[in-house]
Amino acid sequence: MPLSPEQQAEIDDQRSNPQQTLRAVSEGLEARLYTAEPVLDHGFVRVIDYMGDDAAICQAARVSYGRGTKSVSNDEGLIRYLMRHWHSTPFEMCEIKLHVKLPIFVARQWIRHRTANVNEYSARYSILDREFYIPAPEHLAAQSTTNNQGRGDTLTGAEAERVLEILKTDAGRAYDSYETMISQDGQAGLARELARMNLPANIYTQWYWKTDLHNLLHFLRLRADAHAQYEIRAYADVICEMVRDWVPAAYRAFEDYRLGGATLSSTALDCIRRMLNGEEVTQETSGMSKGEWREFRAAIAPTE
Amino acid sequence: MPLSPEQQAEIDDQRSNPQQTLRAVSEGLEARLYTAEPVLDHGFVRVIDYMGDDAAICQAARVSYGRGTKSVSNDEGLIRYLMRHWHSTPFEMCEIKLHVKLPIFVARQWIRHRTANVNEYSARYSILDREFYIPAPEHLAAQSTTNNQGRGDTLTGAEAERVLEILKTDAGRAYDSYETMISQDGQAGLARELARMNLPANIYTQWYWKTDLHNLLHFLRLRADAHAQYEIRAYADVICEMVRDWVPAAYRAFEDYRLGGATLSSTALDCIRRMLNGEEVTQETSGMSKGEWREFRAAIAPTE
Amino acid sequence: MPLSPEQQAEIDDQRSNPQQTLRAVSEGLEARLYTAEPVLDHGFVRVIDYMGDDAAICQAARVSYGRGTKSVSNDEGLIRYLMRHWHSTPFEMCEIKLHVKLPIFVARQWIRHRTANVNEYSARYSILDREFYIPAPEHLAAQSTTNNQGRGDTLTGAEAERVLEILKTDAGRAYDSYETMISQDGQAGLARELARMNLPANIYTQWYWKTDLHNLLHFLRLRADAHAQYEIRAYADVICEMVRDWVPAAYRAFEDYRLGGATLSSTALDCIRRMLNGEEVTQETSGMSKGEWREFRAAIAPTE
Amino acid sequence: MPLSPEQQAEIDDQRSNPQQTLRAVSEGLEARLYTAEPVLDHGFVRVIDYMGDDAAICQAARVSYGRGTKSVSNDEGLIRYLMRHWHSTPFEMCEIKLHVKLPIFVARQWIRHRTANVNEYSARYSILDREFYIPAPEHLAAQSTTNNQGRGDTLTGAEAERVLEILKTDAGRAYDSYETMISQDGQAGLARELARMNLPANIYTQWYWKTDLHNLLHFLRLRADAHAQYEIRAYADVICEMVRDWVPAAYRAFEDYRLGGATLSSTALDCIRRMLNGEEVTQETSGMSKGEWREFRAAIAPTE
């Protein structure tokens, strides 16, 4: 349960006081504002503010086209055209600000997306809470035996229990030590900026994270992907739902062209031509490496 | 008169339809939304959307400080502290989107500020209007005789008349040629993307320009400065007024620390120490070059 | 002929003085250093400096993989893997600095690529040369009748002659006026920063432009594309040759995955599955708009 | 001792094989290439590659000024002028690539500087080494009693011993657990991407970090500052030495205008005017808050 009664009371207060604005309003996102969406065992994502909607994307695009716009007759069609042709600037005209609570090892992946604004809780200045991410048993995955950067089957039985026990015990002990070191009870107390170095990467931090829709979709394409680590994907999945409610037409185009789409190489396109021509193409005759061929087959495989 | 009746009608329509929102609202900027503020002879700036207010800056800063915040007792003091210590990330949490109509030579300076989102009217796609910037007589400045990158006195008399005549005639002729070349009346018509190359840099273009408050203040510090070219400064001055109404506390801090402040070198600080000690310091004994000394004297000169 | 004897002498001098370095060296690019490659009628591109080579891309990628790297056996395979999976950071480890002379209307498109460093010739500070881009007759294209943002057939006969005459005459006159206005012969002389506004967008400017390989390839994908305006494509094509000599393996991967590749939507991938299954798919049954269908057919059409 | 014999052998090899180049060469930085400069107990910084030198800064600036340059007579003067007037683009024309080994809590501060390219060792893919930062006794600082974000006196005696003992024991135990969890000896072995969450923030990671000189100087101004956490300052100090050898004139200007300089507010400049006029100004009459006044006094205080 990620929210304390105080936090819930603050959210209720923020949600009870609508004001008038002349700005573009997204009804779908207003309904979500401030509410914390739980992620993992103690994390959350909540929308703090936003700018723009589907119409704002089109409005910006039409500035470019001026009086000349006529080929694209409606907003959804225009948004699909922009997405298909990688016209990213109109999507940059929408902005969102999220409050996220997340484990530090997830934060370290997340921060690699540089085109965003961040204010993170400072462990130099303040004391971190005793909250650690402990995976649910169904996410306790073994190391993949075929892919260095991947997960295999789920651990079970005694091995799973031992891992959970280790994670809990070590986190608790590290936090006990942290408290012992910073305590000013009968001693000077170690500087917070030093004591935090004893805390493991599954401790929770939080930040305000603000980005534009183009960069957000790029983040989601990479982090809602099956190859992303499960823990960051859990956040990306929740944000996808928010984007769907915020800019529904843009999200539909994103699903079709990015999440469900694939970039095929010149070699791959040539293989498709040969296959449509009736030729039997194999990895050996494809001109692709084994890895590429496997990915190519997956891209055009029947989806159940 | 920069606005057509159609444009004014559209603005009136946008301003007549307030909606409810749970987001932070800046009353000062709501009063300005959509209204075009005239700049130069045919240009304008108008606010299309915004995100955040003074409180949002503090809210983001307090995420960083967590429960530890107590040293800065109020919002204005916190904002001054952040500005003084170059803590830029909380200011990045506010965003603004402007619609600007401006001459191309101004646009070329403006676009050098890279951390912004832009959708510009496309002269590949659409036809530019017959609108050119012609300086008002009081801004018809001579080349400075002491500074390559500066203006001297205002031109007067026959020379001023001749310059205005040239600018008007050449612009008109260039636009006539543009129309002649793209005309599809009895001929194929040159491609718009080619014909535009005949148009001079004082023709007006327009764009949507979106940036965060930190980068906007950086833009304003450079472009509202006395050394900036008058024509871009005219836009910066108008935007300063908008920022003042949007985030009054941030703007006051900006005025004190940036617009009215100065960065002094180690050498300059040392001169101040010597002068406060009663020493008579001259350029020769200051350790500064002539240019530096002149700038230093100006920074600490009495202001009338 | 874009280079003056003085410029050629400077290049010869720079090329005659090799020094020792312990850095990675790209033989292919060393052979090109400083030499100006002509583009359009008066423009050029020349490499001023560079950092890194194909091996530097792999070296950076292997920092990430540490001792765990074993799945990708050689450098070319690793580079293909990185390109295929949009791992952009290793490509960012290479950097190039170009000196480019180009018409202002091309510069205005170019500068929209924000992740780059630029120092442009200042027409506030200095006087521009009398050099204008006048298209070669074979690039004097008519406006497309089907695509607002495109070219149709080449203009011919009297219409072509008239257009060339207009472009030359107007440019000459605008430059004469520029000289008249800034002249300090018997008059004060208009400020350079003002007088330049009379010059058309086909006048040449120049800049130093520095970017990393990832962003350069993104630039090339958009600007070496058939939909880019011919004039900027002419620069992109020349830079492609430079990149080929600089990082041959990366360039080959770029050609296969980006220049020759295509991003297919979920809908398009589904159509391919249906077609491979023997179904006759038409635009009507495809789920695509007419425009999408046309682009899809082009992507999988036989290439001659 | 941060370097293994294998690493030293690799460095020796890289340093023994100079090649010819036509590019700008910085003798000072060539002498440092590849050599690891130790930082903290197991960390290092080493230069892997660079582009440009002091002359490259001037060359880029002179592109802007064209034939008009005459006011600044020499390179050092030009560099000082550029630094004083915040002309950042010429400094962006130099680039450096560093290989850094650093504790994760330092990496988390470092990565907030967004305008840089990074490839970090992947703990999803590879196994981290058993190397933890344990502060030297003289850097075992107590929490400041006056400043939440600061250090007080150094811990001594039993308290210091207890802290060191805790840090060593907890790190060792966390790493033992990490090894236990990922072991594939008689069990499946937890995925590396999960097991790493048990490791504390003082474990070492490493990365390639590439940035331009302007952004590097900004990083150094903030991180070589007395208010920066000691551990990141240790890295910044070492990099300062490298920059001094690379671009000596730019570094001297940076020392004078940035490291040793101060930005004074309009209010502060006014106080200086009053003081130079013989007025006795106190905090109460200054118009500044207590904090501002303290900082102002420090800026103009005699330096011993």
pLDDT tens for D194-226 read 999 999 999 999 999 999 999 999 999 999 999
Taking only the tens place, the pLDDT of each residue in D134-163 is 999 999 999 988 877 788 999 999 999 999
Q: Do C122 and D97 touch (CB under 8 A)?
A: no
Tokens (6 digits) for A45: 């994502």
Q: Where are the beta strands (DSSP E) in chain C?
A: 19-21, 37-39, 43-51, 95-103, 117-120, 141-143, 151-154, 204-212, 262-264
> Which chain C residues in 197-216 lie under 8 Å from chain D, judged by CB atoms?
206-208, 210, 212
What is the pLDDT at residue D1?
47
Contact C19 D20 (CB under 8 A): yes
Q: What is the pLDDT of residues B125-176, one digit of tens each?
A: 999 999 999 999 999 999 988 877 788 999 999 999 999 999 999 999 999 9
- The closest of D4, D5, D95, D6 to D47, measured between CA atoms, is D95
Name the closest residue on chain D to residue B254, using Cα atoms: D265
Chain A interface test: which of B69, B205, B210, B211 (most A C-beta within 10 Å): B210
Six-digit token string for C171: 């440019």
Instruction: Inspect the interface and report whether the beta carbons of A18 and B14 lie closer than 8 Å.
Output: no
Measured distance CA(A150)–CA(A148) in Å, rounded: 6
pLDDT at A266: 96
Provide the token pair at A14: 């923020």
Give the helix/strand (H/E) hosting D13. Answer: helix D5-15
**Three-class HEC string of chain A:** CCCCHHHHHHHHHHHCCCEEECCCCCHHHHCCCCCCEEECCCEEEEEEEEECCHHHHHHHHHHHHHHHCCCCCCHHHHHHHHHHCCCCHHHHHCEEEEEEEEEHHHHHHHCCCCCCEEEECCCCCCCCCCCECCCCHHHCEEECCCCCCCEEEECCHHHHHHHHHHHHHHHHHHHHHHHHHHCCCCCCCECHHHHHHHCECCEEEEEEEEEEHHHHHHHHHHHCCCCCCHHHHHHHHHHHHHHHHHCHHHHHHHHHHHHCCEEECHHHHHHHHHHHCCCCCCHHHHCCCHHHHHHHHHHHCCCC
Q: Is D163 on the interface with A (CB under 8 A)?
A: yes
Could you report the per-residue pLDDT of B247-282, keeping only the tens digit for each? 999 999 999 999 999 999 999 999 999 999 999 999
**Dihedral angle of Cα D36, D37, D43, D48, to the nearest 10 degrees:** -40
- Judge whether A39 and A45 are in contact, CB under 8 Å: yes
Q: What one-character DSSP code corresponds to residue C120?
A: E
Q: Which of residues 234-253 of D touch A (CB under 8 A)?
A: none
Residue A304 near residue C275 (C-beta atoms within 8 A): no
Nearest CA in chain D to A112: D111
Written as tens digits, the pLDDT of chain C (304 aa) is: 457 788 788 888 888 889 999 999 999 999 999 999 999 999 999 999 999 999 999 999 998 776 544 455 689 999 999 999 999 999 999 999 999 999 999 999 999 999 999 999 999 999 999 999 999 999 999 998 887 778 899 999 999 999 999 999 999 999 999 999 999 999 999 999 999 999 999 999 999 999 999 999 999 999 999 999 999 999 999 999 999 999 999 999 999 999 999 999 999 999 999 999 999 999 999 999 999 999 999 999 875 4
To test the contact with chain A by mutation, choose from B35, B44, B95 the residue with the greatest count of A C-beta atoms within 10 A, namely B95
Per the CB < 8 Å rule, is A174 touching D149?
A: no
Residues in chain B closer than 8 A to C166 (CB atoms): 177, 180-181, 198
Q: Over range D240-246, report the average pLDDT.
A: 98
Tell me how far apart the alpha carbons of residues D75 and D27 are, in angstroms, rounded to a whole number: 17
* Eight-class DSSP state of C257: I
Which residue numbers of C are catalytic?
A: 223
> Residue B186 CB: number of other CB atoms within 10 A?
7
Q: Which residues of A touch B97 (CB under 8 A)?
A: 51-52, 93
C56 CB within 8 Å of a chain B CB:
no
Q: What is the widest separation between alpha-carbon atoms in chain C?
A: 83
- Please provide the size of chain C in residues: 304
Contacts of C181 in chain B (CB under 8 A): 163, 166
CA distance C148 to chain B (A): 5
Mean pLDDT lowest for which of A232-236, B13-17, D29-33? Answer: B13-17
Q: Do C80 and A292 touch (CB under 8 A)?
A: yes
Secondary structure of chain B in HEC code, one letter for each residue: CCCCHHHHHHHHHHHCCCEEECCCCCHHHHCCCCCCEEECCCEEEEEEEEECCHHHHHHHHHHHHHHHCCCCCCHHHHHHHHHHCCCCHHHHHCEEEEEEEEEHHHHHHHCCCCCCEEEECCCCCCCCCCCECCCCHHHCEEECCCCCCCEEEECCHHHHHHHHHHHHHHHHHHHHHHHHHHCCCCCCCECHHHHHHHCECCEEEEEEEEEEHHHHHHHHHHHCCCCCCHHHHHHHHHHHHHHHHHCHHHHHHHHHHHHCCEEECHHHHHHHHHHHCCCCCCHHHHCCCHHHHHHHHHHHCCCC
Cα four-point dihedral sign A182, A188, A192, A196: negative
What is the distance in angstroms between the Cα of A41 and the nearest Cα belonging to chain B?
21
- Of the candidates A192, A219, A132, A137, which has an alpha carbon nearest to the alpha carbon of residue A167? A132
Q: Is residue C124 less than 8 Å (CB to CB) from chain B? A: yes
Nearest CA in chain D to B291: D81
Contact status of D218 with chain B (Cβ, < 8 Å) = no
Question: What tokens appear for B125 in the block?
Answer: 């796609």
Contact C114, B114 (CB under 8 A): yes
Domains and CATH numbers, chain A: 5-133+202-259 (3.30.1360.170), 138-199 (no CATH), 266-300 (no CATH)
The answer to whether D59 faces chain A, any CB pair under 8 Å, is no
User: For residue D297, what pLDDT band results from cuts at 50, 70 and 90?
Assistant: very high
Neighbouring residues of C284: CB distance < 8 A, sequence distance ≥ 6: none
More confident residue, D105 or A149: D105
Q: What is the per-residue pLDDT for C2? A: 57
Distances (CA, A) of D171 to A23, A171, C73, D105, D121: 53, 12, 35, 14, 20
Q: A92 — contact with chain B (CB < 8 Å)?
A: yes
- List residues of D with catalytic annotation: 223
Distance in Å, alpha carbon of D191 to nearest chain B alpha carbon: 32
Longest CA pairwise span in chain B (Å) = 83
Interchain proximity D70–B263, CB inside 8 Å: no
- Residue C42: φ, ψ to 5°: -130, 0
Contact: B260, D272; criterion CB under 8 Å: no
Spell out which residues of chain B touch residue A126, defining contact as CB-CB under 8 Å.
65-68
Higher pLDDT, D43 or A4: D43
Q: Chain D residue closest to A134 (CA)?
A: D197
Q: Judge whether B86 is closer than 8 Å to chain D, CB to CB.
A: yes
Q: Phi and psi at residue A225, in whole multiples of 5°? A: -80, 150
| Count of Cβ atoms closer than 10 Å to residue B46 Cβ | 21
Predicted confidence pLDDT, tens digits, chain A (304 residues): 457 788 788 888 888 889 999 999 999 999 999 999 999 999 999 999 999 999 999 999 998 876 544 455 689 999 999 999 999 999 999 999 999 999 999 999 999 999 999 999 999 999 999 999 999 999 999 998 887 778 899 999 999 999 999 999 999 999 999 999 999 999 999 999 999 999 999 999 999 999 999 999 999 999 999 999 999 999 999 999 999 999 999 999 999 999 999 999 999 999 999 999 999 999 999 999 999 999 999 999 875 4
Cβ–Cβ contacts within 10 Å for residue B192, how many?
Answer: 24
CB-based burial label for D157 (10 Å; 0-12, 13-18, 19+) = exposed
Q: Using CA coordinates, name the residue in chain C closest to D47.
A: C23
The beta-carbon neighbor of B263 closest among D259, D261, D291 is D261
Chain A residue with Cα closest to C298: A269
Helix, strand or coil, per DSSP, at residue C2:
coil
Environment class of residue C263 by beta-carbon count within 10 Å: exposed (0-12), middle (13-18) or buried (19+)? middle
Contact D170 A112 (CB under 8 A): no
pTM recorded for the entire structure: 0.96
- Residue C67 confidence (pLDDT): 53
Neighbours of A238 (CB within 10 A): 19
Mean pLDDT of B47-76: 82
What is the biggest distance separating any 2 CA atoms in chain D, rounded to whole angstroms?
83
* Residue D17 CB coordination number (10 Å): 7
- Answer for the pair D49, C52: CB distance below 8 angstroms, yes or no: yes
Q: Does C18 touch chain A (CB under 8 A)?
A: no
What Å distances lie between residue A142 and A146, A156, D191, CA to CA?
A: 12, 10, 5
A261, A289, A291 member nearest C263 (Cβ): A261
Size of interface B-D (CB pairs under 8 A): 93
Run of H or E including D204 = strand D204-212
Cross-strand pairs, A51: A95
pLDDT of B1 reads 47
Interface test with A, best of B64, B120, B131 (most A CBs within 10 A): B64
Cα separation values, C229 from C209, D144, D235, Å: 20, 62, 47
Average pLDDT on D255-276 reads 96
Judge whether B93 and B60 are in contact, CB under 8 Å.
yes
Q: Which residue out of C63, C92, C122 would a mutagenesis test of the D interface target, given it has the greatest number of D Cβ atoms within 10 Å?
A: C63
How many other C-beta atoms are found inside a 10 Å radius of the C-beta of residue C186?
A: 7
- The confidence score (pLDDT) of residue D72 equals 54
Residue whose pair of structure tokens reads 């809590």 in the numeric block:
D105
Q: What residues of chain B lie within 8 A of the CB of C200, using their CB? A: 174, 197-201
Tokens read off for C19:
């020094």
Among candidates D108, C261, D196, which has minimal Cα distance to A167? D196
